[in-house]
Amino acid sequence: MTFPGARPRRLRRTPALRRLVADVRVSPADLVLPVFVKEGLAEPAPIGSMPGVVQHTRDSLKKAVHEAAAAGVGGVVLFGIPAVKDGRGSGADDPSGIVQLALRDLVAEVGDALVVMSDLCLDEYTDHGHCGLLTATGEVDNDSTLERYASIALAQARAGSQVIAPSGMMDGQVAAIRAALDSQGFSELPILSYSTKYASAFYGPFRDAAECAPQFGDRSAYQQDGARSADEGVREALLDIAEGADAVMVKPALAYLDVLRAVAQAVDVPVAAYQVSGEYAMVEAAAAQGWIDRERIIAEQLVAIRRAGASMILTYWATEAAGWLD
């Protein structure tokens, strides 16, 4: 007997057919590689909870970013780990602080081959590990932190950063950074805001990578609560755009694809998604056991993130995945 109805299977029969009709493609140019550089390192230092990812020296960082550029990766986002931390995160806006030095290195070496972005936050630089300045009672103080962020943005801009990416989830951070940049001649420098960022256990391994685990409490008082509806994620993105963000971000990725979808539909600026350290670590751990097909899982997740609406994806697999994507 022949089934006479529609046959969606017809277009799935061969790899060539599937390739022809695919709607979602992930290109190397859509990927952004997060990289860590640590002050005072003699050799790259492996990160135990992120196999394959290291804290770089200035030299090994240059090499890694060259490789990313050669693979066609669209950008890198730089995180710095200073040798000394203090209450106000002084290393973050020191003109000779590690991020500023590394930014100068990268822009000189590869600045036109891909986009050199800088993460802007305080948690890597403060001895208490929070993303802002503390009040006497140990709360993160929104408004005094904004002054620090403005100063850090200027230090990064002067060092040649090509996109400023604030990740601290202070209210008004984009407006404060935009005003500072504009007042000092950097009105052309874009801001990619981590607008829609959830308080998440998926950041666990990053806190080893950036040595920034909070010394008390957690970040739930400033990062978003996953139990709110996706509308709040959209609201955060719209607020940041109104303050001058040129692009926004949803983070983490896989557990927040509904939010990513809602944000992508609501805004008309590029939307980034950050496939974070815990997402990376889970796949690497299961693959090391032989329990999953590592490459297929990575590719499937990247496609899912694009399908949900991301125009770019921050991923620790950027260089490797760029090698298999077309």
Q: What contacts 44, CB < 8 A, 6 or more positions away?
A: 54, 55, 56, 57, 60
Q: What contacts 168, CB < 8 A, 6 or more positions away?
A: 120, 121, 122, 123, 131, 132, 145, 149, 194, 222
Q: Which of 30, 93, 119, 320 binds ligand PBG (CB under 6 A)?
A: 119
| 250 backbone dihedrals φ, ψ, rounded to 5° | -115, 135
Residues 33-92 that bind ligand PBG (CB under 6 A): none
Please confirm, yes or no, whether 63 is among the known catalytic residues: no
Q: Contact between 240 and ligand PBG (CB under 6 A)?
A: no
- Active-site entry in 38, 62, 85, 197: 197
Q: Contact between 167 and ligand PBG (CB under 6 A)?
A: yes
Question: Among 23-31, 98-106, 115-123, 256-264, which window interacts with ligand PBG (CB under 6 A)?
Answer: 115-123
Q: Contact between 243 and ligand PBG (CB under 6 A)?
A: no
Least Cβ distance, residue 262 to ligand PBG (angstroms): 21
Report the distance separating Cα 208 and Cα 17, nearest Å.
44
Report the distance separating Cα 106 and Cα 58, nearest Å.
9
Q: Contact between 121 and ligand PBG (CB under 6 A)?
A: yes
Q: Contact between 219 and ligand PBG (CB under 6 A)?
A: yes
Please confirm, yes or no, whether 197 is among the known catalytic residues: yes
Q: Which residue is nearest to ligand PBG (CB)?
A: 206
Give the nearer residue to ligand PBG in terms of CB position, either 45 or 113.
45
Binding mask 170-209 for ligand PBG (x = CB under 6 A): ---------------------------------x--x---
Question: Which DSSP category does 198 fall into?
Answer: B
Question: Among 55-63, 81-89, 118-126, 238-246, which window interacts with ligand PBG (CB under 6 A)?
Answer: 118-126
Least Cβ distance, residue 211 to ligand PBG (angstroms): 11
Least Cβ distance, residue 33 to ligand PBG (angstroms): 12
Q: Smallest Cα–Cα separation from 247: which of 159, 311, 151, 160? A: 311
Are 130 and 176 in contact, with CB atoms under 8 Å apart? no
Question: Among 53-61, 102-110, 117-125, 143-151, which window interacts with ligand PBG (CB under 6 A)?
Answer: 117-125
Residue showing tokens 């050199």: 116
Report the distance separating Cα 167 and Cα 123, nearest Å.
10
Question: Among 88-96, 119-127, 155-163, 185-193, which window interacts with ligand PBG (CB under 6 A)?
Answer: 119-127
Binding positions for ligand PBG, rule: CB under 6 A = 119, 121, 123, 131, 167, 203, 206, 219, 276-277
Residues identified as active-site? 197, 251
